[in-house]
A and B are shown apart, each in its own frame.
Chain A
Amino acid sequence: MIVEVLKKVYRVSKALWVKSPATHDIRSHLMHDTPRFRGEHTIDYETCIGCDACNKICPTHAITMKHLPFKKQNIVPEVNLSVCIFCGLCEDVCPTKPEKSIILSGGRYDMISGGWHQDQQDFWVHVDIPQSYIDERLEAEEATRVKKEMMAKKKEAQLHNEKEDKA
């Protein structure tokens, strides 16, 4: 009796040593991997010039432009992945060089299989901009504004002087 059971246990446990005929776990490794695979977007807020081209071409209106508190280059794209059809036209029209600001080629493919989605917000590509970057940009903007003002004042004074000289 016990021998029978042991035999069965031995027979079944042999499966532990046999190599699986499956070679790939496609949840983590693709059967066919290509650098052009159109997956999740990466957005570079530092190089983005805020031209709105990706938003305009998007055939499904998956892109919304997030407003930033700057005077220039004050919008940056955010993508709703549950609306996006991954056509890649946004990457095509992005004018920044040499690296495009919005890229989906080579993006992650495990959006459904990976189990990383907790709620609807996970299907968004949000742009998280650190406060330090915002402060930096604002400071730079303020500095240029002050500089411009100073220049304008100087010019005005110069003109004024010239006029007085003529008079």
Chain B
Amino acid sequence: MQTIQALFQDFSTLYIQEYKPTWLKVKLQNATDIVEVAKALQSNGLTVISTVSPTDFVEDNRIEMNYFFEDILTKRNCWVKVDIPREIEQCVIDSITPIFKGALWHEREAYSMFGVRFTNHPDLRPIIVSQDFYGKTPYRRDFDWAAHEADTLGNIQAIYEDFEQEQAQNETLLDSNSSQMILNWGPTHPASGPIRLKVHCDGEDILGIDPDIGFVWRALEHLVTKKDFVGAIVAVERLCFMDNINSMVGYCQAVEEIANVEISEFAKWMRVLLGEVSRISSHMMGMGNFYNSLGLHTAFMWNVDVREYFLDFLESYSGARIATAAIEPGGVRYTLEEGMLETLQKAIEKFDATKEEIRAIFVKNPTMKSRATTKGILSAQAIEEYSLCGIVARASGVKTDIRLDEPYAAYDQVQMDYVTQQGGSAADRLKMLFDEIEQSVAIVRQAKAHIVANIANGNFNPTKDHMVKVPKKLPKGEAISRVEWARGEVLMHLVTDEKATNPYRLKMKAPSFNHTMILGELLKGESLSDIPLIFGSLYICQGDLDR
């Protein structure tokens, strides 16, 4: 940490603070320094940029840029802030994309949502938003949504005209020697989900890929600011349903930090338990999707069969199978009653009974291996270069896991270790999913035993300890909280105003964003038939891709 702190001696800073054990929070005075700061941080090992998040302060007439630099190996992170003017013409800052390739889309998102222009950015086009939002700034506090929505016909016309224009250029070069064209993969492709990959191809060979995303953009980061702190959980969990518990944990931790509330030990363990169950159910879908995109639906059916038992537990606990809304600021939302853990026991038994079969048939599948071990290979170097995280990073042998690097909830008391694979290929990522399901089941066992034992000896009161009161009005402040989500790191950056009843700004950094960004790099030079394989192996969900 000292070495990072020393770096900032060369720059004029407004403050340098230690924040949490693993973070350093710095506010720069001059926005022109950002590139030099990024270079200095990168040469000191902070090689990953988590996200770029602007916050709009209308009254102070400034936009505050937040950069989250991380060192995914040695747990040193740096949060750099700098102010830039708010007027559209002067709202400019140097791009750090030439130094951190992982910032490419994050800066494009800041440009589309806040109108921040990045000089020297290699590809500054709007992303996520549709044509009717081009040149507008939807996430700024003073954006007039009502006026925008009033012009529905005009909006549809804009989208339609742009689409027409684009499709007219799809067939660029067609002759007897070569046929370059743009192929639309999605948004209604059976394997794609709501995403469109514009595949530039020459015959079967892929020349490049330009993903078109935003088909399920719900402006969650804006929606959250319209709800109170409790109501916001339903927007946060819609980041992606597959693993909804952990995203709520991340948000609630940020609220609790600002409110200065310590939750009970029982609630912490419940968060571990529910989070792992949710992770299992997500990974089961992930494994199924991998095979689904290859055209084998049996794996999906088998996995979903086991997954139902885990969803039974979530339903017993919260009353809903998918959209549980089970984590609230202050703890967990419901009491734990007798018999619920038996449902969980049933699920674990079901998993134990089927796991060898699933492993033998799907994880060790020779056809899959011959197809997937040579495709979509990501080196450990590429992981850092493109700021990847989660199972994609661990499949390439990078030891990163927020549960261990920055333990939250009760993970500091959980016995676990990094699960990694070395190859970094599509097959390794599938293996990772199954290994992690096994790890999660082991954690669920631990958490369950711990909870049962502590209820028995009277340390936990499952009908009272689940919630600590969090005040309705929060003081002015900001917090970040990171959780290891099913797909990777989720970073929540929450800003509140004086006597706040709802969030002022919530930035949700979701892992699929980076994982989709590298599709072009991974697929360049491959053939068209590899798209579903590599896309499926990256474990992308459009929910957290678009938000």
Residues of A within 8 A of B (CB): 31-32, 34, 36-38, 57-59, 85-89, 92, 105
With A and B bound together, what is the CA distance between A86 and B333 in angstroms? 15
Contacts of B235 in A (CB 8 A): 59
* A-B residue pair count with CB separations less than 8 angstroms: 44
CB < 8 Å: which of B230, B308, B317, B320 contacts A86? B320
Report the nearest A residue to B232, measured CB to CB: A59
B234 near A32: Cβ-Cβ < 8 Å: no
Distance in angstroms from A88 CB to nearest chain B CB is 6
Q: Is B530 an interface residue when CB atoms closer than 8 A count as contact?
A: no
B231 near A38: Cβ-Cβ < 8 Å: no
With A and B bound together, what is the CA distance between A92 and B467 in angstroms? 13
With A and B bound together, what is the CA distance between A59 and B227 in angstroms? 7
Contacts of A92 in B (CB 8 A): 230, 333
Distance in angstroms from B527 CB to nearest chain A CB is 43
Report the nearest A residue to B325, measured CB to CB: A87
With A and B bound together, what is the CA distance between A38 and B314 in angstroms? 12
With A and B bound together, what is the CA distance between A36 and B334 in angstroms? 10
Contacts of B315 in A (CB 8 A): 32, 34, 36-37
Report the nearest A residue to B312, measured CB to CB: A32
Distance in angstroms from A31 CB to nearest chain B CB is 8
B320 near A38: Cβ-Cβ < 8 Å: yes
Sorting the interface of chain B by its residue count into under 10, 10 to 19, 20 to 34 or 35 or more gives: 10 to 19
Report the nearest A residue to B311, measured CB to CB: A32
B234 near A36: Cβ-Cβ < 8 Å: no
CB < 8 Å: which of A34, A85, A89 contacts B230? A89
B234 near A59: Cβ-Cβ < 8 Å: yes
Q: List residues 319-359 of chain B with CB under 8 A from any CB of chain A.
A: 319-320, 323, 325, 333-334, 343
Distance in angstroms from B340 CB to nearest chain A CB is 9
Report the nearest A residue to B315, measured CB to CB: A34
Distance in angstroms from B255 CB to nearest chain A CB is 15
Report the nearest B residue to A57, measured CB to CB: B231
Known: A36-B316, A59-B234. A87 touches B323 (CB 8 A): yes
With A and B bound together, what is the CA distance between A59 and B220 in angstroms? 12
Contacts of B333 in A (CB 8 A): 92
With A and B bound together, what is the CA distance between A88 and B343 in angstroms? 22
A34 near B228: Cβ-Cβ < 8 Å: no
A57 near B230: Cβ-Cβ < 8 Å: yes
With A and B bound together, what is the CA distance between A22 and B425 in angstroms? 41
Q: Show 29 residue pairs from A and B whose CB-CB distance is below 8 angstroms, ordered by the A residue.
A: A31-B308, A32-B315, A32-B316, A32-B343, A36-B315, A36-B319, A37-B315, A37-B320, A38-B320, A57-B228, A57-B230, A57-B231, A58-B231, A59-B227, A59-B235, A85-B234, A86-B320, A86-B323, A87-B234, A87-B323, A87-B325, A88-B319, A88-B320, A88-B325, A89-B230, A89-B234, A92-B230, A92-B333, A105-B319
Distance in angstroms from B240 CB to nearest chain A CB is 16
A36 near B318: Cβ-Cβ < 8 Å: yes
Contacts of A85 in B (CB 8 A): 234, 323
Query: 15 new A-B pairs (CB below 8 Å) besides A38-B320, A59-B227, A59-B234?
Result: A32-B312, A32-B315, A32-B343, A34-B316, A36-B315, A36-B318, A38-B319, A57-B230, A59-B231, A85-B234, A86-B320, A87-B234, A88-B319, A89-B230, A89-B325
CB < 8 Å: which of B227, B231, B234, B319 contacts A34? B319
Distance in angstroms from B318 CB to nearest chain A CB is 7
Distance in angstroms from A151 CB to nearest chain B CB is 38
Contacts of B228 in A (CB 8 A): 57
Known: A57-B228, A59-B227, A88-B325. A36 touches B317 (CB 8 A): yes
